[in-house]
Amino acid sequence: MADRPPAPSDGAVARGSRPRARDGGPGASRPVGRDLEQRLLVLMGDVVAGREPREREIDDAFAGLLRGAGLTVVASRQGLRHPSFAELERDLFVRTSRVERVSEWCVNVLEAAGVRCATLKGPALAVQLFGDDVTRPSSDVDVLVPRSELDAALGAFHAAGLRAEARHAAWYERTWHCHAVFDGAPPDRGLPLEIHWSIARPGLMHGRIDGLFDHLIDVECSGRRLPAPDLEWQLLVCAVHAAQHFFAPRPLLDLALVSRGLDESQWGAAADRACALGLGPAVYYATTVSAARLGWRAPAAVEALEGLRPEAWREAIAQRAIARLPVTGVLPRDKLRFVKTVTPVLTTAAPWFVVGLAYQLTDRPRVADAVWRRRLARRQAGIGP
């Protein structure tokens, strides 16, 4: 990776902004809006740059923003202090232990059935990025299997007593979704569990990711062995995750840290793989947005490799959409509708974006349920399959 330019420190004043009092100092004003976002980006930039922690107290507003972004442990590791952080870290330790226990159970069940699998995100990614399974909190368990082995995986879970939440017809779930939700595993019935057969929503990529299962590494999480994609594949996983979540802070931090761990040749191989799957635009935009917001230098492969750099028309639409995205917080309904409409342009290689656009604009649950009811009625009446 190329050297990264220095990012401003926590006390630096952004160009065009008002000077502000240091956190917790006498007479410090309560920062809001863009100032809070700027402080969050500076913190994340410090993490990416590997800067030494600096002890300082922070106010309630910034602590609340960090809680909402899932970055309280990251902040604590960087020296930020707030009365709520200690209890939050204890809760996250308990939750992480639950996630690891269920993840290990899922891996054992699938491997016993001869199904290849990988854990997505979660504690394994936390260890890969931070060397610590608690720093990146998780709220559920995500397990990836090859699409060709999905039936075997579902059969293994059913035999182990798990039942999927059948919200739509099976044919629709397979065609228009990339994961199935189960009601929890025996080690912890209250923890959500998802089994994935793709890393992206339908229409946002083409081809299968079976090659990922030839590039797994075993990550040790509190004594448990969890298989996970290597960093080259994690680049694609994190880029897609960032794009599908509208470039939220934590996915952008994940992507920056993954990219930091790759050299130029590895980055080039990952970019080639992204182009082959039609994920070039997703990698391009997620990487460039992460680099711009967090102050690190994207590798040359992002700009140089054909297939990553989008066409001019796509670039114009994408930049308009990205400019409307908040750094943090929930999108208003009108902006959410607009961004969902242009998401295929942001993430998908033409001509696949047409399918992605149909996926985004269709009222999926209502259409799926209506078609399933019609088929069921016809079958009960004996007038069709």
Q: What is d(CA 200, CA 355) in angstroms, rounded to the nearest whole number?
A: 13
Per-residue pLDDT at 3: 40
pLDDT at 18 over 70: no
Instruction: State the pLDDT confidence band at 22, using cuts at 50, 70 and 90.
Output: very low
Q: What's the pLDDT tens digit per position in 190-199?
A: 898 999 999 9
Per-residue confidence band for 23, with pLDDT thresholds at 50, 70 and 90 = very low
* Angstrom distance (rounded) from CA 88 to CA 108: 30
CA-angle at 124, arms to 123 and 127, nearest 5°? 85
Residue 47: its H or E element: helix 34-49
pLDDT, tens digit, 9 for 90 and up, residues 292-314: 999 998 887 776 655 577 777 77
Cα–Cα dist 217/230, whole Å: 6
| Most confident of the following: 205-214, 332-341, 343-352 | 205-214
Q: What is the DSSP string of 191-226?
A: S-EEEES-SS-TTS--S--GGGGGSEEEEEETTEEE
* Mode of pairing for the β-strands spanning 56-57 and 216-221: unpaired
Instruction: Indicate the class that CATH gives domain 85-229.
Output: alpha beta
* Residue 207: band (very low, low, confident or very high) from pLDDT cuts 50, 70, 90: confident
Read off the tokens for 373: 């009811």
Q: Are 267 and 259 in contact (CB under 8 A)?
A: yes
Say how many C-beta atoms besides its own lie within 10 A of residue 147's C-beta: 15
User: Phi and psi dihedrals of 148, rounded to 5?
Assistant: -65, -15
* Of 195-204, 266-275, 330-339, minimum mean pLDDT range: 330-339
Q: Which whole-number Å values give the CA distances from 105 to 115, 157, 340, in the listed order?
A: 14, 11, 36
Confidence check: pLDDT of 328 > 90: no
117-155 pLDDT, tens digit per residue, is 999 999 999 999 999 999 999 989 999 999 999 999 999
Delimiting residues of CATH 3.30.460 domain(s) in the chain:
85-229
For residue 215, the tally of other CB atoms under 10 A from its CB is 14
Please name the residues in contact with 36: beta carbons below 8 A apart, sequence gap of 6 or more: 61, 62, 65, 328
Tracing tokens 């960032």 back to the chain, one arrives at: 242
CA distances from 276 to 148, 177, 228 (A): 19, 21, 21
Residue 180's SS3 state is strand
